[in-house]
Structures are given as structure tokens and as C-alpha cells.
Amino acid sequence: MSEKFDLPFESNLIPKMLELGSLLKFRCHTGISCFNACCKKADITLTPYDIIRLKDRLGKSATEFLKDHTVPFRMDKEGLPGVKLKTDDQGACRFLCEAGCSVYTDRPTACRYYPLGHMSMLASGSKTDETHYFLVKEEHCKGHEEAQEQSVAEYLTDQQTAPYDEMNREWLQLMLKRRSMGPTVGRPPEATLQMFFMCSYDMDRFRRFVLSDSFKKTYELEESAYEVFEKEDLSLMQFGVRFMRQVFFGERTIQEKEGAWQERVSRRQDVWDARRQAEIARQQQEEDEKYKDL
């Protein structure tokens, strides 16, 4: 089941565009000869919402889920981090069991969409993105030989993609905006990439970051917002997108406290000074070592 979920920045396909009303001849069912063939070659990119659904299903923290069930990869040339579902040595999804998908009602977006891919596009000069769909036809998938015909919209309704689309939208738009800015923005610093990973995928670490004293000293948020972030993954996930828009594009939707920036710089200055002193001491020691036996 390769390239099931086509993130807007990584496709090298030139697909035939489909719209919601386009007809699709396809049916997947337990009696089909290829049953489970797709999940035996799984290449599933996860969205932040996919991770929340799956880690809740498995009763794990986000950090545990990421460690046990995913592998990291770079989603674009600038090194934006993504995560995929871990597979076994043969490439089969580890959620696959004899009866099919063991996490079916919480299966990721990519699995719901297959054999459709979707991508968002930002027409030049437009502020709103458009979603287009395309069909992925793979040799092993016999669902295309079935007689059933339905519209793309009907298929997606059947696969219950709506809550996933809603929860994925802002995160996908964030990346679409980055992509539409082209190479001019360049590769973000490593710390920014790590921040993106945390805000997108690891709600446990992001929660600790948001509830930390240093965050509260820096940003102007109501105490009630912190109470919500303490309890609700979905609100925290949405805040993560907002936070990354601020980091990537300088959108000031999260008010900074007055003087917070200067205070942070002066706190950092101490760290930089200490590092510089440590480096000077290390070089001095190296020089001393060179000459000690002369």
C-alpha cells in the first residue's frame, strides 16, 4: 500500500485529478482475493491526529507510541520531520492480523483514503487551498476489478474520513504554506525542526513545554487555556499548529509578554557565555597537553 497518503509536498506523481463528484470503480471487502495484500507493503505517513487516535486506542502516551510504532523520516528537502508507521522486516504493517486491521476504527488517514490520494493546492494569488483527489492503481489491488461504482464523496463518507479531514486541515495548511513560500525560506535551524516534531507528534513533551514556567513567563495566555491544554490533546494539537505558524511565519497570534524576548536573550547570553568559557578552557587544556612533556 505505497504512497497512500500523499502529503502535498512530496508527491512525484502526475496524477489524473478527480473531484468529489468523480466516479470511482472500486470495492474492497474481506472476501476479495487480495485481502490484506496492501497492508503487507505498508508505507503510511501519520498525521498528528492519526497519532492521537492510535495512541489512545493502544492506551499509550504519545512518546511511547512514537518509540514503539513509528519511524522518523524527512518530509522535504528542508528536512521537515515526519513519522511513518513501523513495519516488520518484510514491510508489513505491524497492526495487521489474520482478520485484517487490528486498529480498524482508528486506522490512519492514509489507510482510509486508499486507493485515493489527495493533495491540497494553493493557486497563485489565492489565500484558500483547494483539495484534489487522484487514484492510485497498484497491480496487487484487485478492488479496481469489482463492479461497484460510487462517487469520490460517497467513498470517503463510507471510509469516515470527515473527522480526520477536519483535524488534519490546519496542519496540512501549515505545510502547504511553507511549501508555497519555496526555497526562499531555506532550511530551518535544527532547533526549529525539533520544535516542529514536538508540536506535531509528541503531545506529552509539547504539553510539558507549554505548561513550563519559562513558557508561561514568555507568553500571554489565560490560565483557563493552560487548564484545557493540560487535559485535552486535540486542543493542544491545534495550539501546536498555531505555535508553529508563529515560529515559521512570524504570525503573532500568541501574544508575548512585554520584555520576555529581552529576558530570554539575556538568559541565553549567560548560557552562550558559559559555553564560550568552557570551549576556551578546553582549548587551553589541549594546548597544555601538547607541551607538558617538552
Which of 53, 107, 179, 245 contacts ligand SF4 by CB under 6 A? 107
Which of 9, 143, 172, 240 contacts ligand SF4 by CB under 6 A? 143
Please, which residues have CB within 8 angstroms of residue 144's CB and are 6 or more apart in sequence?
A: 25, 26, 115, 137
What b/e sequence results for 184-203 when a residue is b if at least 16 CB atoms lie within 10 Å of its CB, and e otherwise? eeeebeeebbebbbbbbbbb
Q: Decide: is 96 part of the binding site for ligand SF4 (CB under 6 A).
A: yes
Task: Tell how far CA 154 is from the center of its chain.
Answer: 26
Which of 58, 101, 225, 254 contacts ligand SF4 by CB under 6 A? 101
* CA neighbor of 80 nearest in space, from 175, 182, 203: 175
Q: Decide: is 35 part of the binding site for ligand SF4 (CB under 6 A).
A: yes
* Cβ-based nearer residue to ligand SF4, 90 or 262: 90
Q: At its nearest, how many Å lie between ligand SF4 and the CB of residue 91?
A: 11
The radius of gyration of the chain from alpha carbons, rounded to an integer in Å, stands at 23
Q: Decide: is 58 part of the binding site for ligand SF4 (CB under 6 A).
A: no
Residues 75-94 that bind ligand SF4 (CB under 6 A): 93
Mark the segment that binds ligand SF4 (CB under 6 A) among 95-103, 168-176, 247-255, 274-282.
Answer: 95-103
3-class DSSP assignment, residue 133: strand
Q: Decide: is 95 part of the binding site for ligand SF4 (CB under 6 A).
A: yes
Q: Hey, which bits of the chain come out as E strands?
A: 23-25, 70-74, 81-85, 96-97, 100-101, 116-121, 130-135, 149-151
Residue 241 CA to residue 239 CA, distance in Å, equals: 5
Q: Total residues at the site for ligand SF4 (CB under 6 A)?
A: 24
Q: Pairing relation of β-strands 23-25 and 149-151?
A: antiparallel
* CA neighbor of 137 nearest in space, from 29, 18, 7: 18
* Cβ-based nearer residue to ligand SF4, 79 or 100: 100
Q: At its nearest, how many Å lie between ligand SF4 and the CB of residue 21?
A: 22
CA-angle at 213, arms to 210 and 214, nearest 5°: 80
Encoded one letter per residue, x for contact with ligand SF4 by CB under 6 A and - for no contact, window 12-31 reads ----------------x---
Residue 271 CA to residue 172 CA, distance in Å, equals: 36
Which of 18, 44, 75, 175 contacts ligand SF4 by CB under 6 A? 44
Q: Decide: is 136 part of the binding site for ligand SF4 (CB under 6 A).
A: no
Residue 18 CA to residue 11 CA, distance in Å, equals: 16
Which of 113, 114, 171, 201 contacts ligand SF4 by CB under 6 A? 114
Which of 32, 153, 193, 260 contacts ligand SF4 by CB under 6 A? 32
Contact residues for ligand SF4, defined by CB under 6 A: 1, 28, 32, 34-39, 42, 44, 93, 95-96, 101, 103, 107-108, 111, 114, 140-143
